[in-house]
């Protein structure tokens, strides 16, 4: 897939395939990674931007590993803070 021109799928599908390939590559090499929605350059600094649109999550009774609300999982928050 990498480096070849695909005519059987649209540009969005090609982008999705490329992202999946790259993530699999990082995982296979044990390279730590995450995917921000956007990166902007503001006031001489880079800023990670996240866009969320989802239904509110309500944890199930007895669930001690999550919380009510919206947002990123803890591992994603830690990865962004490290960045």
pLDDT, residue 76, reads 81
Q: What is the DSSP string of 6-60?
A: --SS-HHHHHHHHHHHHHHHHHHTT------SEEEEETTEEEEE-----PPB-PP
pLDDT, residue 23, reads 92
User: Looking at the structure, do residues 66 and 45 belong to the same domain, yes or no?
Assistant: yes
Q: What angle do CA 37, 47, 58 make, to 5 degrees?
A: 50
Per the structure, the complete domain to which residue 20 belongs is given by 1-33
pTM: 0.53
User: Looking at the structure, do residues 44 and 82 belong to the same domain, yes or no?
Assistant: yes
User: Looking at the structure, do residues 49 and 75 belong to the same domain, yes or no?
Assistant: yes
Mean pLDDT, the chain cut into blocks of 10 residues (83 residues total): 62 89 94 88 92 70 67 79 86
pLDDT, residue 60, reads 73
User: Looking at the structure, do residues 13 and 28 belong to the same domain, yes or no?
Assistant: yes
User: Looking at the structure, do residues 42 and 21 belong to the same domain, yes or no?
Assistant: no
User: Looking at the structure, do residues 50 and 74 belong to the same domain, yes or no?
Assistant: yes
């Amino acid at each position: 897939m990498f480096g070849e021109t695909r005519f059987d799928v649209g540009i969005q599908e090609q982008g999705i395939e490329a992202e999946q390939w790259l993530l699999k590559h990082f995982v296979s090499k044990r390279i730590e990674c995450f995917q921000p929605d956007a990166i902007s350059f503001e006031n001489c600094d880079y800023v990670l931007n996240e866009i969320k649109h989802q239904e509110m999550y309500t944890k199930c009774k007895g669930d001690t590993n999550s919380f009510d609300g919206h947002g990123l999982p803890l591992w994603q928050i830690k990865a962004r803070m490290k960045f």
